[in-house]
Structure 1
């Protein structure tokens, strides 16, 4: 036990004060700060776009032009303003366009060969084309006006007013409706849970890759410099392996705490606090079950991957070969990250359900299901038990590989050679 504590303390002291760790942590803190404040930073550099003014050559379609003007000028965000002057001529509108008083004008005129009662064609004249957003907005309003124009004699005023109302599309989850109606606060809690889950998944991936690579690199470096031969005479290989794993775990926790503090400080800045107040966000909206189970899966997932990184690092004699050796573990970690991140919109898919019981993917995919609230208690228990059994199995196997691999030099040994060495050393 004393030797294990010694290795843990040595690992923390040597890694915590290294320039690479401090610089990497500082860079990530800066990136987190920029990411949290990015909307505010963009708002500082973005200039207010001038309101686009568009004239209308009504002709004999004054009713349509006035309705078009009311639809846009009554909005709170007046990015587009429709100016209607029934007496304006096309020559006057062209002069206003040349003088910069308007950005363009719409000409309403009867379509060729159409009857006077038909809805007019619309042509936009300008020196610069309208943006896609503005053009879509005008087209949508004109589509409603066309429907009202065609059906004006067949529909009542109330029915015509309903045409302007957007279609309301609500979703009712029958399982949730048994417990009562779903409120806006419930929807907000689900959004917050999804955000927390994504943050935990990203933290798991970053910590897993950084600390895992550090574990493998340190073991390989000690082995390539022959320091391992001295260490192994005073500390057992098992104490070395698990001491490094636990030490790196504490190191990762310190780094995560620094990241969380940086995010919290930036979120509490006045401009960010005001944004949270506008959306009625409260800290009580964070589901404690998501956070608690997220921590459980984070810890179990870390130890599962860490034992594999330590085992692979022990069989590599040169740091140049380390990247290729840990590639399979890296691919597993990437797969766990991508399956969860790309399945946020479909947490009930068969891929997510199956992978939530696969130990290398369950730390992220089961957490995704927990955040969505679509899981049963027995599924979480089974997933945790599978993870624990996998950690014990991988830890047992990695310990055997580690005890053998740290004293095997030269080219990277094959699995057959490792097995022979285990038999020779009676491991």
Structure 2
């Protein structure tokens, strides 16, 4: 057992002290803090006067007065100013950037307002969108007055219809409950996806690096290969835990520092405020099971290669499995009750993501969860037994490799030990 923890400590501290780990963690943390402070950063670079100033030329001289009313232009964030000069001089004012735009209002054949807007730069998300909404509101007001419909009647007509809903299936989750869980489910899916990609490759690369430097021959002479493999997995797990704590802790405190601007809204939107505590337990359980499943597979594949250059090629099937699982889970966020999601939640390579998705989005029987966890545990045990034999023979294999056919060769070598 002492040898096991010695290898765990060596794996952890050699990685946590590496410049690549420190730089990557620092850059990622800086990005997270920057995103958490994005509203404050944007406010620093924004102008104190955010209102757009637009000149108005009204040929009929009856519409411009409406634009001064708050019910029409109050929410647009645009200040309209009447212009008495010529159209050319008004355009020149805009060209000289004294004003943001020029709106010329005319009357169509139905005696309703229409307009032409001029600005130095026209973009799809510019102030012309607000201008169009203002003109639409103006057209509605003028049109109702022409037809004799008062504003109160019009507001009543356009008021949202009342629809009372009642869910008959007691086992189904409400839309509110699903929205509360959706953020947490997505966070867990993304974290597991990135963990497997980053740390799974790290495990395989670490094993290949030790083999290429012949350090492996010394390690297996002092500790059994099975001890070395699981110590490597646990050591990288502690490394990942350290990085996740740093990043999540930094992100949490950065968001809390912006309590007035985004903290409450962020946690509410992400569904991290009113969830059942049990779902967090399931998140930890399925995250650990998913990590150990893919980490064991990564260590087994890493033991088959002697050169670091061959690692990416050999772990590609594992990467494809986690990518497929993530795509299925992302699809299942909108249709968690589909047959495809139900079936794949029992397939070991997909279960950590898919079954947790179903737990978060649906009310499913406890026996289905227990069955999925049992299949996962048995699969991890079977893979651990297979990986131990492959690892035992694989660490002694040198020369060019990169094919899954080397599994049989590694197993045969392990029998000779």
TM-score normalized by the length of structure 2: 0.82
Does the C-alpha gap of structure 1 residues 119 and 426 become closer, same or farther in structure 2, counting only changes over 3 Å? same
Task: Determine which of 357, 375, 385 is the counterpart of 2:346.
Answer: 357
Cα displacement string for residues 127-163 of structure 1 (whole angstroms, at most 9, x for unaligned residues): 5365545434443444455456556546455323335
Cα displacement string for residues 96-130 of structure 1 (whole angstroms, at most 9, x for unaligned residues): 5544665444444443xx4xxx2335232535365
Residue 290 of structure 1 deviates from its aligned partner by: 2.7
Residue 279 of structure 1 deviates from its aligned partner by: 7.8
Distance (Å, rounded) in 1 between the aligned partners of 2:5 and 2:247? 26
Partner of 1:210: 198
Q: Is the 8 A contact 1:33 1:262 kept in 2?
A: yes
Partner of 1:276: 263
Cα displacement string for residues 313-367 of structure 1 (whole angstroms, at most 9, x for unaligned residues): 1111111211211111122223333433465444445544443332222222333
Question: How many positions carry a matched residue from both structures?
Answer: 409
Worse-matched range after superposition: 146-155 or 201-210: 146-155
Task: Determine which of 123, 135, 142 is the counterpart of 2:128.
Answer: 135
Q: Is the 8 A contact 2:76 2:134 kept in 1?
A: no
> Mind listing any 5+ residue stretches in structure 1 that lack a counterpart?
none
Task: Determine which of 114, 123, 138 is the counterpart of 2:115.
Answer: 123
Distance (Å, rounded) in 2 between the aligned partners of 1:156 and 1:359? 64
Does the C-alpha gap of structure 1 residues 73 and 297 become closer, same or farther in structure 2, counting only changes over 3 Å? same
Partner of 1:158: 152
Partner of 1:317: 306
Q: Is the 8 A contact 1:36 1:267 kept in 2?
A: yes
Superposed, which structure 2 residues align to 1:184-203 within 5 Å?
187=176, 191=179, 193-203=181-191
Partner of 2:46: 46
Structure 1 vs Structure 2 CA RMSD: 3.6
Residue 375 of structure 1 deviates from its aligned partner by: 4.2
Cα displacement string for residues 366-390 of structure 1 (whole angstroms, at most 9, x for unaligned residues): 3333333454433332322221122
Residue 215 of structure 1 deviates from its aligned partner by: 1.5
SS in 2 for 1:317: coil
Distance (Å, rounded) in 1 between the aligned partners of 2:310 and 2:266? 51
Does the C-alpha gap of structure 1 residues 169 and 379 become closer, same or farther in structure 2, counting only changes over 3 Å? farther
Partner of 1:249: 237
Q: Is the 8 A contact 2:55 2:90 kept in 1?
A: no
Q: Is the 8 A contact 1:72 1:80 kept in 2?
A: no
Does the C-alpha gap of structure 1 residues 279 and 23 become closer, same or farther in structure 2, counting only changes over 3 Å? closer
TM-score normalized by the length of structure 1: 0.80
Residue 299 of structure 1 deviates from its aligned partner by: 0.2
Cα displacement string for residues 237-262 of structure 1 (whole angstroms, at most 9, x for unaligned residues): 11111111122212222222222221
Distance (Å, rounded) in 2 between the aligned partners of 1:69 and 1:350? 57
> Mind listing any 5+ residue stretches in structure 2 that lack a counterpart?
none
Q: Is the 8 A contact 2:52 2:79 kept in 1?
A: yes
Partner of 1:28: 28
SS in 1 for 2:69: helix
Task: Determine which of 303, 308, 315 is the counterpart of 1:326.
Answer: 315
Distance (Å, rounded) in 1 between the aligned partners of 2:202 and 2:84? 75
Does the C-alpha gap of structure 1 residues 69 and 383 become closer, same or farther in structure 2, counting only changes over 3 Å? farther
